[in-house]
């Protein structure tokens, strides 16, 4: 199974872009450290409205909407499910039931609104730096790669399928794929701050998920994409002063 087939499967999994006939998903499952490559593509598309639309508020809204559209809202769905799981009261079983329930409750709505507002608020102040959304998307995808490699699943599903085919060392090449970000015309301290915030957020989600739910599932990995994007954008804004 070639690496090109793995990349094609990755893009079919993370986007709605027409990439030909269905690729062999097993090829990506055995190379899930490639997640950040999808971040470069999605982030590049997301930067276009910030370049083409001269009005910051509108540009930020279109950019976020464009990213959600390209990704098919799959990760956003995980964010809503996590919100319900976090707001559930009772035992671990109760939290898991709320997390995995397909119905969206008040916790999910609140979580979706808060994370989207943080992303929008930060990005609307960063329209002078369109590449910020590229950094945020790559950071979001490296978080997904890290949770896929390290987050022991608590139930069967897409995450367990990927987890059992990944290796803990996949974290290293995943983070290695963030190095091209340092070629961008942006102060290196901004990129370091963004990646540090992404890694810290990923660790919180990893240990928090294990404590609250007994492990990680696909919803948590998808939620990490949305949460890390928001945290990264906010960090870039603060780092720029």
What b/e string do you get for 170-181 counting C-beta neighbours within 10 Å, with b at 16 or more? bbeebbebbeeb
Q: Over the stretch 141-181, which tens digit does the pLDDT of each residue have?
A: 999 999 999 999 998 889 999 999 999 999 999 999 999 99
User: So where are the chain's domains?
Assistant: 3-240
Please report which confidence band the pLDDT of residue 46 belongs to, taking 50, 70 and 90 as the band edges.
very high
Please report which confidence band the pLDDT of residue 1 belongs to, taking 50, 70 and 90 as the band edges.
low
SS3 225: helix
For the cut 90, the answer to whether the pLDDT of residue 33 exceeds it is yes
Average pLDDT of span 3-17:
90
Q: How many CB atoms are located within 10 Å of the residue 220 CB? A: 29
The pTM of this model reads 0.94
Q: How far apart are the C-alpha atoms of 96 and 75, rounded to whole Å?
A: 18
Report the half-sphere exposure of 20 (CA within 13 A, side-chain side): 8
E strand or H helix at 123: helix 106-124
Q: How far apart are the C-alpha atoms of 66 and 79, rounded to whole Å?
A: 17
Report the interhelical angle of 3-14 vs 35-52 (nearest 10°): 50
Strand partners, 153: 216
Contact 145, 35 (CB under 8 A): yes
- The residue ranking higher by pLDDT, 100 or 39, is 39
């Amino acid at each position: 199974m070639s690496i090109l087939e793995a990349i094609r499967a990755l893009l079919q999994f993370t986007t709605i872009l027409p990439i030909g006939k269905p690729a062999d998903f097993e090829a990506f499952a055995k190379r899930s450290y490639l997640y950040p490559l999808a971040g470069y593509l999605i982030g590049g598309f997301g930067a276009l409205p910030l370049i083409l639309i001269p009005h910051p508020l509108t540009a930020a809204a279109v950019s976020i909407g464009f990213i959600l559209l390209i990704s098919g809202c799959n990760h956003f769905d995980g964010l809503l499910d996590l919100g319900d799981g976090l707001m559930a009261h009772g035992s671990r079983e109760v939290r898991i039931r709320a997390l995995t329930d397909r119905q969206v409750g008040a916790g999910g709505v609140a979580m979706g609104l808060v994370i989207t507002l943080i992303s929008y608020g930060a990005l609307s102040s960063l329209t002078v730096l369109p590449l910020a959304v590229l950094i945020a998307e790559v950071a979001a995808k490296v978080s997904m790669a890290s949770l896929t490699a390290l987050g022991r699943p608590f139930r069967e599903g897409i995450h367990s399928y990927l987890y059992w085919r990944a290796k803990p060392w996949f974290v290293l090449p995943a983070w290695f794929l963030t190095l091209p970000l340092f070629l961008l015309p942006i102060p290196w301290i901004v990129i370091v701050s963004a990646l540090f915030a992404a890694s810290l957020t990923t660790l919180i989600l990893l240990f928090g998920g294990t404590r609250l739910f007994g492990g990680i599932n696909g919803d948590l990995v998808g939620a990490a994409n949305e949460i890390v994007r928001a945290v990264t954008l906010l960090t870039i804004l603060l780092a720029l002063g």
